[in-house]
Each structure stands twice: as structure tokens, then as C-alpha cells.
Structure 1
């Protein structure tokens, strides 16, 4: 077997339970892929998106229903080292990427307020546009289980609302386009183990303005890093706390909620209280 085949084999053999089965379960549970879809797998160059690309390749190869895939890499202004690492990894892993260039980092550099928000919004917009131009009806992102529960906690602690990262979303700005997250049930620890098992080296923090951040999977000084550290600490007392957070968003007890928003409209428990 060549290098790419070895990596593929590890996904559905060595990591069958922790990655491959979870990947398939997420797709089935949330009905993420249908026959005839053309999906743009969006690759940032990190461990998560590269694993997603390989999982999607395997799924396409063994699926009983046909669908198409494009592998998109958007360069927002990476330094040459990161750009080359992405290209080399894609070639080594036999992922036929399409790379398109943007000036996102240049634009964000001139913004003082919420540059990260603007960067994320612009990146998403470019991905949707290029995917749609290629005839895709969906984009697939590499967000995983830990991203979901960390987002849930961040929304409570810093956003004063209960909100999570959804497994799929309809685009509000690109008609007919949908975002899906096939790694929704795959834990980050499994992805890190897969990366180490195969001795893979991916780019870590590609942002031009924070390139001194820590290695993938170790948090950092961000709010997400705080949530990661908090969950890790809580798991020492309760090893199921991460699953409890995840399951809680699937099991909301509306009888004990004071208020909620639906389609932008606020509602109170008093509307139905007698």
C-alpha cells in the first residue's frame, strides 16, 4: 500500500469505532447526504478538514448511492510555508484539491473591531460562492463533536443564550446551498490519535495575525480554549460530562424554559401559563 492507502485503511480499520462508525452515524442521524448531491469539502489544511476529506473519499467509494465531491482549499493569504504544507499533504494523501486565492487577511488587517468575526464571515462567503460556481449544492466543514459542545458552553457563558452548532444549515445568502458537518459525532481526541498514528503533520494556526498559537487540539488563550480546559477538568469528576452537554441540546425540556426565539420572534413561557 502507498501512503494514502495506509491512512485510508487506518480510518475504517484501526479507528473504525472512534472515527469511521461515528462519521457514518452522524451522516445517517442528521440525513446529511442524499443521492445526487455535489458536495464541496472545504479544506483549511488542519487535521479536522483533512480527515473529513479522506472520510468523504471512502464514503463515496463504498456508498450505495452516487454523489459527487469537489475538494476546495481557500487561501485567505497563508504564508508560503503553510500553503506548501497544504499542497504537499493533499498530494501525499491523494486528495485532488482545487485552490483559490483571496485577499481576506489583507482586508481583515485594516479592521480594528471584531476582525475574527469578519474573517470567518468572509471565508464562509467565498466558500459558498466558489462551491456554487462549481455546481455544488452543499459545502462540508470539518467541525467535530468537541466544537459542538464548546460552542454550546460559549453561547451560555459569553452570549447569554442557549445555542449550539447545528449539524446542517440552509444558507441564507446563497439560495439552494446547504452547509453540513459530517464529523459532528467524532471526538477531537480520536482525530488527534489518528494523526499521531499515521505520523501526519498538518498546519496548526494559519491565521497571519496569531501564528504563534499552540498546536492543534491544545486550546490556547481563546474563549474556546477556556471551554476546552473546563470540560477537561470536569471530566475528571464525571467522564460523561461531554456527552451530557452534547445530548442536552437534543433533549430540551420546553416545560422548564422561561423564553425562546423562533424565526427571530421572542416567546415567553407566560404565553401558555395558566
Structure 2
């Protein structure tokens, strides 16, 4: 039997018995891991086109991508292979919006989500959130913090954890929930706003045209976009009277960044839990999810049936990454896979990578950089037993540099001084020898004259 590809809406799909169809996700692996429809299987669109997939034929197939732009082609290819296939109109984004709409007016739903942070996830989420704040002194009395909301699972969770911390009221501080719209399409903007309403997060939204600005940048547009977004967030937060911005980077982001620096940039550099802004004096960046595992964040999301957006820039709006195997994503996905592979033989690998950042032996490294100045182990090698090498501050570095320079000057002076003296001694000896020969010759002449 031949079939013709058709579209099915999220509303229509709800009327179908769940056991009557298979869901096929043709987005990238990274997007699939960020959020998916329940029980969906991920298949690359290239595999569908080549017929190298293993999709069962016992049920109807509903294919979805990000916004429905490429899934219809995949559905047509499946129909040509004898499947009864449909494309989900509007894709995953439309489906997410539909799920949020159903929960919009449920106060009980919000209470259940908040209760989960106080009960089921208290230890691994709220507990680790508080630990990071205490260990790294991220929040201080009198702070006004801009909690930066991107619309993803990490920043939304961070906002709820800050609200929970505020509820305990042990530290007097203020919060602003700051959301920048860098050029989202209407669907993504609605997802963010409605998730915020569902979770009880009062957003302060401001708009920029960053997505348009970086669209024609051929090299590293994602890096440029991230830098621009941070600058805009600092600027807007400062306008609102904030002295800190909070970003939602978690434990996995931290260890992946360390490995990426080593493997792809040839440097050992940690993603710090807090930083002073170089361009906005008086402003700081903090990362209160620093000790929270991504798996726990996903568990919280799925347990509460929440759906969030991932990246929503112009590069992914047309699902151009749906058929890839992570190649159009950053090297982060590659690094994530490497860590997962290492965990197969060493379950402690993640903790060990993190611990390495706290256990750097400075007397066992070839060099380091401070304030953009490179230092070599040779600088302290001769005095290793005396110096008690540690992380030197600027004054100690200057003092040690001056002491080392004085030593080098003294050595050079001694060398220069010793060389002329040896030469002079040779000259004096030669002069004495000639004088002795002259006197001997003069004496012989005197004898002859006598």
C-alpha cells in the first residue's frame, strides 16, 4: 500500500491513542538530549533518506524536527519506503507551547514544582545550590542580583532556586529576573514567557538584535553571539541597579570547559564560579549552579513534565542541524561524549576532573600565566626548597622578579670582574718576565764593558 505524507497538529495528535504511533525525532543529538517528546526515538534524517534506519512498520510514524520545516521531507521519504508517516506541524516548538498552555492556569501545578525542590530534589539541587553560594561566597548581604534567564532548563531552575533561597531570607539581597530577547521568533518568545508564568518567575524582558548582527559572521558566530549577549546583560543589569549577574552554568559545563581547553586550545583554564567584570567596573558574574549535575537538572525537568527551549537563533530556526551528528554543534558535545566513554571504565572521572582544578601543584608544572604574563618553572627551580612555591600575588611576583634580576646582575658582575683580573695577572707576569730578561741582558753588557 502506498501512503502520502500528511501533517498532523499537536492538538490532533492528542486525540490519537498513544499506542497507535511511533514518534521519530530528527533533530540533533544535543537538542534531543535537551528535551524531547515522551518515548520518541532519534533517527538522523540522512538515515531516513538512505533507508538505513530501523524504524518499525507496525504503527503510524509521526516525524518531528524543531519547527516542522524538515520533518515533512522525512515523512515523504518514509512514505516512499512503505510507511504511513506524518509530519508534526510546527515541530517540537509547537508541541512544547501546547504543553505549557495546558498548564497555564494551574496554581496547584506550580506548587507541586516548588514542593519538589523542597522535598525530592532538596539535597541534589537546592542543597548543592546553597553549598556553592557558601563555598564560593557568591551572595553577600546587600547584593542586587540579575538572574539571567535564557529560557532553557538551567536558567529556569536557577531562578526557582534563587526564589527558594529568598524564601528562607537568611541573607538580605534583592533579585531581578532578567531576560534578553536577542531576536527570538514568536514561538520561542511565547515558550519563555509562558514557562515563566507557569513557574511564577516575574520576567524583566529587554530586546536586542544580536541574532541579526551575527548571522553573516562566517567564523565562530556562536562565540561572538555569547560575548555580545553577556555584554548586553551586564549593561542592562547595571541600569537596573544590580551589582551581579547570575548565569546558569552547571557542574558538567565546568568540567567540559576544562577538557575543551586542554584538548582544543592547549591550555588549562577553569570556568570560575565568580568573576569581576573587566568592562563594567563594580559588576560581578556568579555561577550558583556550579556544583549541580546536569543529570539532576534533567531529572527535575522530566519529573515535573516541564519543556524548555534550547538554542533559538537564526542558524537553527530552519532545522539545518537536524541531520547532523553533532558536527554543527560546538566541541562541547564531543567532549561530553568523551567523558561518557571514560565513565564506562572509571565512574569517578567527572569528580576527578573537577578535583583537578582544586589540586594544581605549582611546583610540578612547566609554567603558568598571571595577568597575561607567562612564567616558567625555571624562575623558581634553583630556589625550590626556599620559596615554598604557591600562587604568588602581584607584589610577591614583583619582589621575586627583582630578587632574581639582582642575582643575575651579581653573577654577571662577578664574571666580568674575574675576567679582567685574570688577564691583568697574565699581563703583569709577562711584564715581570720581560723586565727580568732586560735586567739580565743589561747585566751581561756591564760585565763586557768592564
User: Could you state the TM-score of these two structures normalised by the residue count of structure 2?
Assistant: 0.59
Q: CA RMSD in A?
A: 1.5
Match for residue 188 of structure 2? 82
Per-residue CA deviation, residues 40-61 of structure 1 (Å, 9 max, x unaligned), is 0000000000000000000011
Does structure 1 retain, via aligned residues, the 8 Å contact 2:215–2:314?
A: no
Bigger Cα Rg: 2
Moved more, 10-19 or 50-59: 10-19
Note if 1:22 corresponds to 2:128: yes
Aligned pairs, how many?
271
1:115 to 218, 221, 224: 221
Match for residue 177 of structure 1? 283
Does structure 1 retain, via aligned residues, the 8 Å contact 2:251–2:292?
A: yes
Question: Residues 58-207 of structure 1: matches in 2 within 5 Å?
Answer: 58-207=164-313
Q: Give the Cα separation in 1 of the matches to 2:169 and 2:373.
A: 41
SS in 2 for 1:272: helix
Q: Give the Cα separation in 2 of the matches to 1:232 and 1:18.
A: 20
Unpaired segments ≥5 residues, structure 1: none
SS in 1 for 2:381: coil
Does structure 1 retain, via aligned residues, the 8 Å contact 2:258–2:271?
A: yes
Does structure 2 retain, via aligned residues, the 8 Å contact 1:71–1:96?
A: yes
Q: Give the Cα separation in 2 of the matches to 1:87 and 1:162.
A: 39
Q: Give the Cα separation in 1 of the matches to 2:158 and 2:226.
A: 19
Pick closer, same or farther for the CA change 1:75–1:150 going to 2, 3 Å: same
Question: Residues 46-61 of structure 1: matches in 2 within 5 Å?
Answer: 46-61=152-167
Deviation of the 1:220 alpha carbon: 7.7
Does structure 2 retain, via aligned residues, the 8 Å contact 1:219–1:229?
A: no
Match for residue 239 of structure 1? 347
More helix by share: 2
Does structure 2 retain, via aligned residues, the 8 Å contact 1:19–1:186?
A: yes
Per-residue CA deviation, residues 138-176 of structure 1 (Å, 9 max, x unaligned), is 000000000000000000001110001000000000010
2:360 to 252, 257, 262: 252
Does structure 2 retain, via aligned residues, the 8 Å contact 1:44–1:73?
A: yes
Match for residue 266 of structure 1? 374
Does structure 1 retain, via aligned residues, the 8 Å contact 2:129–2:292?
A: yes
Deviation of the 1:264 alpha carbon: 1.0
Pick closer, same or farther for the CA change 1:194–1:6 going to 2, 3 Å: same
Deviation of the 1:199 alpha carbon: 0.1
Q: Give the Cα separation in 2 of the matches to 1:206 and 1:2.
A: 30
Does structure 2 retain, via aligned residues, the 8 Å contact 1:219–1:228?
A: no
Q: Give the Cα separation in 1 of the matches to 2:226 and 2:311.
A: 14
Deviation of the 1:9 alpha carbon: 1.1
User: Could you state the TM-score of these two structures normalised by the residue count of structure 1?
Assistant: 0.96
